Structure 1
Amino acid sequence: MITQHELESRLWDAANALRGPVDPADFKTYVFPMLFWKWISDTWVHEHDAAFDTYGDDLDDEIEADFHRFELPEGTLWSEVTERVTNLGAEIAKTFQRIEMANPRSLAGVFGDASWGNQERIPESALLGLIRAFNKIRLDPSTVSHDLLGAGYEYLLKNFADESGKKAGEFFTPREVVNLLVGILQPEPGESVYDPSCGSGGMLVATINQLRESGKDHRTLRAYGQEINLTTASIARMNLFLHEIEDFDIKRGDTLRAPAFKAPSGAVRQFDVVIANPPFSLADWGADRWSSDPRAICGVPPAKSGDYAFVQHMVSSMKPGSGRVGVVMPHGVLFRGGAEAKIRQGLIEKDVLEAVVGLPPKLFYSTEIPACLLIFRDQKSAERKDHVLFIDSSARFIKGKKQNLMSEDDVRAVIEAYQTGSDSAGEGGANVRLVPLEEIEQNGFDLNIGRYIKVAAEETADLGTALVAYADARQQRVDTETGMFERLAAAGVDLSVFGVSSE
């Protein structure tokens, strides 16, 4: 068996074979399909050998089929294709297509849509370097366990995120945030877990891993996800396969415009656990279609920010009784006015918002703006009915060069604060307060954590907070001016005197 360090080192060598001609932000587009192909190919050979050892000369195609998880048509094994000397990229693309067609229910589209034959994108020299690096790794079960392979995949995802910088936010959520959300929501065996913006599948994998590590039967958990980006959706599917997860369904598409998981009635399907880190304040998210959308349970969010569209979609996807939701959001959702204020008020009055968790600054790749977790529960416990739990964990972090980190102790302390409703960590812990809805109503349904908890860390008064306040004030001014000019124009006033076009 190979060690984790050896596996990670060899996987990173494979990625580095692309360095130079391929943008680091695109490494994942090429490395993951090749890793997945090498894994299913090496595993197929291992399964074939096991079948032959059992049946010897009596082995036929029908018997052997029972030994294989995936069907690999003749001529599609790694060793058969990678030794070809002409049009290698085009041959790989053709091989991926044949494998997908041979496994339509499980692998259709799994390899993504990289242009393998386009030497402008990936020169043959880089492709050969990638193949040579993977030739040094055997990925069958006798050499690499599923746990090890899954950890290696996560290692690559983290490294690719580091290399990609802000672009990483599209496919990678810091694992301490994922583990915090999963620890709060506590998925159980037999439950369904859904991520409507699943990225590379990290949150779904983490729910499985938590059950596995706690000795519970993870195989009965059903995982569902939707992802708009084709490459990222493919990476998510490969991630789940490599983590030995059988019962999952990842759909590609736009969750807000066309949710892929529907009940027979036409309403969105409902799940026990709904968990996500959607893109922050997404513009052009499809507001024009939401006036008659049943997911707009508390109103239509502004066209320039889809935050509360994701929140309402997730709350609508929460199963009655057992359902709970955990979503990462920018702090602006806690206090912004206009349509968002009405939606926020509606959700609070429905008494489904259980907790607001303020996160440390600079945790995410895509933004320096501080973020929070919103936790919803269909059936809150008796002591939390008509209350919202506020947790300020902004002081619980380790300062990093580009990003801050939360340690395992930090994550554990915040989960414990959520579970107990008190700060058991003492000095340097998470500030906690259970606030009655009457007090929130008196504050105009503003959920800004600083209204209810004295902010623990000076770090939270950083550039990110200032940027949120500035952006909101600026947007409010723009909206006010727009309304004023519309009224003036309707009254026949010449707007050119204000330097404004009347068109």
Structure 2
Amino acid sequence: MTTTHDIVQKLWNLCNVLRDDGITYHEYVTELTYLLFLKMAKETGTESQIPAGYRWDDLASKDGVDQLNFYRKLQVYLGTEASGRVQVIFANASTALRQPKNLKKLVESIDALDWYSARQEGLGDLYEGLLEKNANEKKSGAGQYFTPRALIECMVRLIKPQPKELVQDPAAGTGGFLIMADRYVKELTDDLFDLPEAVQTFQRKEAFYGMELVPDTHRLALMNAMLHGIEGDLLLGDTLSPDGTTLPKADVILTNPPFGTKQGGGIPTRDDFTFPTSNKQLAFLQHIYRGLKPGGRAAVVLPDNVLFEGNVGRQIRADLMDKCNLHTILRLPTGIFYAQGVKTNVLFFTRGKTDKGNTKEVWVYDLRTNMPQFGKRTLLTHKHFEEFEAAYGEDPKGAAESLTQRVDTGEKGRFRKYSREWVAERGDSLDIIWLKDESNGGTEDLPDPEELAQEALGELEAAMNELHGILEELGAEVEA
């Protein structure tokens, strides 16, 4: 994948050219999405989907102010007059470019790339590499939409999506989970060639679907899916509003809902939840376990507060453990997401055939204590998940017979088993810690001020959410 890496680096370096035009990182990637869409359509012989007169060569043949004016006209035209995904990708599009010389630089630089080699290695990998680059750039703020690839791969490998299964991501971001699930199925089936024609069509057009709230991020997800041959419904909408009720029940849900209370568009407005809450993560969790078919399975990234928050949080956890077999929790290392202080976990669970008593035991794997601080210097890789994956086992559903094969490693090990009764006795809290931090001679290193501030903010938000819940139960009006 050397060529892909080189192209991603060249495209990313062009961002430096645009700083004089006041372009932010996120605006730059969105800008590249429009231009790369036009260029890739030409390179892949799919320009017929773009109306004549508004294609790559029409743009590249112009110069100066004429080129910039035509580019603006092209965006409006394709966003209103084109059809299908072309129209959706260009919906409400506008350019942040103000200087004609910068558009010319972008067009010429894109034209000069080694497109033959890029096609051979996969245009989808090229685009995803660009999204990853943007996510890793702290100033871009895009990390909230991009889950580290090593973590996505781990979750997909353990959940094992299969042909003919419906796979949903209700907080799709740039589409990473759906892309990886599609790749997993294609590797199982010789790029779908082992499947009957009807199933191949299902895999391309129906198997993978989801919803994304932020329009620019939705645009990136559509482009990403298109370049990977995925045509399923990637909807623009708020899963925590009535929009979310339109998502069909799934065999598999893989997702990383947005953290905090600022992202996500206000208090959830779904009226079909059993436990109304202003905590978005708890609301997403309800959507996920309610959105699984009987026997369906999920892996979801959630912050620590979901594991211990009281009041409605306890009710939702109890409901989850009734309706689903919550068989595994993975405590993730710190520093792998954009907000350093956020502590996260992956919950693995399977929807029961009945709605009562499905969780008999919960296994917790601690991949956080005595682990390095991840970030730009120490990258999270597949190797960091190998021992957990081996301990998890081969059964994606965590059925009772497969759990008997697991080994509780004791209070000095990373993998422990806890009965449902034991969890209930501690108020249904799943924030389970047993390992001692042995860094710095047994005393924990003092986190940097930003991490401390983020952690304090998270605790305050959790407390505020609980107070809001109490006020709501008392019938008081709560300001948003």
Q: Structure 1-normalised TM-score?
A: 0.76
Corresponding position of 1:342: 315
**Does structure 2 conserve the Cα–Cα contact (< 8 Å) formed by 1:370 and 1:465?**
no
Which is greater in Rg?
1
CA shift in 2, pair 1:257/1:96, >3 Å:
same
Output the CA distance in 2 between the equivalents of 1:354 and 1:300: 25
**Does structure 1 conserve the Cα–Cα contact (< 8 Å) formed by 2:370 and 2:437?**
no
For residue 78 of structure 1, the aligned residue among 56, 62, 85 is: 56
Equivalent positions of 1:103-502 (< 5 A) are 103-111=82-90, 113-116=92-95, 121-137=97-113, 139=115, 142-145=116-119, 147-165=121-139, 167-218=141-192, 219=200, 220-221=202-203, 222-245=207-230, 247-260=231-244, 262=246, 268-282=247-261, 287=267, 289-290=269-270, 293-294=271-272, 296-297=273-274, 299-301=275-277, 303=278, 305-321=279-295, 323-379=296-352, 385-395=359-369, 399-400=373-374, 402=376, 404-419=378-393, 431-450=414-433, 453-454=434-435, 458=439, 463=447, 468=455, 471-472=458-459, 476=463
Corresponding position of 1:26: 27
**Does structure 1 conserve the Cα–Cα contact (< 8 Å) formed by 2:407 and 2:415?**
no
Out of 11-20 and 82-91, give the one that drifted further: 11-20
RMSD (Å) for aligned C-alpha atoms: 3.7
Compute the displacement of 1:449 (Å): 2.1
Out of 32-41 and 470-479, give the one that drifted further: 470-479
Compute the displacement of 1:440 (Å): 0.6
Compute the displacement of 1:148 (Å): 2.7
CA shift in 2, pair 1:370/1:462, >3 Å:
farther
SS in 1 for 2:122: helix
CA shift in 2, pair 1:476/1:396, >3 Å:
closer
**Does structure 2 conserve the Cα–Cα contact (< 8 Å) formed by 1:185 and 1:325?**
yes
SS in 2 for 1:87: helix
Compute the displacement of 1:26 (Å): 2.1
**Does structure 2 conserve the Cα–Cα contact (< 8 Å) formed by 1:201 and 1:239?**
yes
Compute the displacement of 1:309 (Å): 0.3
Corresponding position of 1:88: 67
Compute the displacement of 1:100 (Å): 5.4
Compute the displacement of 1:430 (Å): 7.3
CA shift in 2, pair 1:70/1:271, >3 Å:
farther
Compute the displacement of 1:197 (Å): 1.0
Output the CA distance in 1 between the equivalents of 2:87 and 2:160: 32
**Does structure 1 conserve the Cα–Cα contact (< 8 Å) formed by 2:80 and 2:91?**
no
Output the CA distance in 2 between the equivalents of 1:252 and 1:186: 27
**Does structure 1 conserve the Cα–Cα contact (< 8 Å) formed by 2:259 and 2:281?**
yes
Corresponding position of 1:62: none
Compute the displacement of 1:483 (Å): 8.2
SS in 2 for 1:434: strand
Out of 370-379 and 105-114, give the one that drifted further: 105-114
Output the CA distance in 2 between the equivalents of 1:327 and 1:386: 20
Output the CA distance in 2 between the equivalents of 1:43 and 1:212: 20
Corresponding position of 2:38: 37
Output the CA distance in 1 between the equivalents of 2:254 and 2:391: 19
CA shift in 2, pair 1:254/1:457, >3 Å:
farther
Compute the displacement of 1:467 (Å): 5.9
**Does structure 2 conserve the Cα–Cα contact (< 8 Å) formed by 1:352 and 1:377?**
yes
Q: Which amino acid aligns with 1:248?
A: G
CA shift in 2, pair 1:159/1:476, >3 Å:
closer
SS in 2 for 1:448: coil
Output the CA distance in 2 between the equivalents of 1:288 and 1:201: 22
Compute the displacement of 1:410 (Å): 1.6
CA shift in 2, pair 1:396/1:241, >3 Å:
farther
**Does structure 2 conserve the Cα–Cα contact (< 8 Å) formed by 1:357 and 1:373?**
yes
SS in 1 for 2:276: coil
CA shift in 2, pair 1:465/1:336, >3 Å:
farther
Output the CA distance in 2 between the equivalents of 1:195 and 1:482: 27
Compute the displacement of 1:461 (Å): 8.1
5+ residue gaps in structure 2? 193-199, 395-402, 475-480
Out of 328-337 and 389-398, give the one that drifted further: 389-398
5+ residue gaps in structure 1? 45-67, 263-267, 488-503
The CA deviation string for residues 340-365 of structure 1, in whole angstroms up to 9 with x for no partner, is 12222222233432221100111101
Output the CA distance in 1 between the equivalents of 2:407 and 2:378: 23
Output the CA distance in 1 between the equivalents of 2:35 and 2:245: 30
CA shift in 2, pair 1:355/1:165, >3 Å:
farther
Compute the displacement of 1:307 (Å): 1.0
**Does structure 2 conserve the Cα–Cα contact (< 8 Å) formed by 1:100 and 1:107?**
yes
Output the CA distance in 2 between the equivalents of 1:233 and 1:160: 15
**Does structure 2 conserve the Cα–Cα contact (< 8 Å) formed by 1:14 and 1:31?**
no
Output the CA distance in 2 between the equivalents of 1:239 and 1:447: 35
Identity %: 26
CA shift in 2, pair 1:96/1:471, >3 Å:
closer
**Does structure 2 conserve the Cα–Cα contact (< 8 Å) formed by 1:398 and 1:406?**
no
SS in 1 for 2:393: helix
SS in 2 for 1:107: helix
Output the CA distance in 1 between the equivalents of 2:62 and 2:393: 58
State how many pairs are aligned: 440
Corresponding position of 1:265: none
SS in 2 for 1:449: coil
**Does structure 1 conserve the Cα–Cα contact (< 8 Å) formed by 2:305 and 2:462?**
no
**Does structure 2 conserve the Cα–Cα contact (< 8 Å) formed by 1:178 and 1:203?**
yes
CA shift in 2, pair 1:189/1:465, >3 Å:
farther
**Does structure 1 conserve the Cα–Cα contact (< 8 Å) formed by 2:174 and 2:218?**
yes
Output the CA distance in 2 between the equivalents of 1:71 and 1:477: 50
**Does structure 2 conserve the Cα–Cα contact (< 8 Å) formed by 1:15 and 1:31?**
no
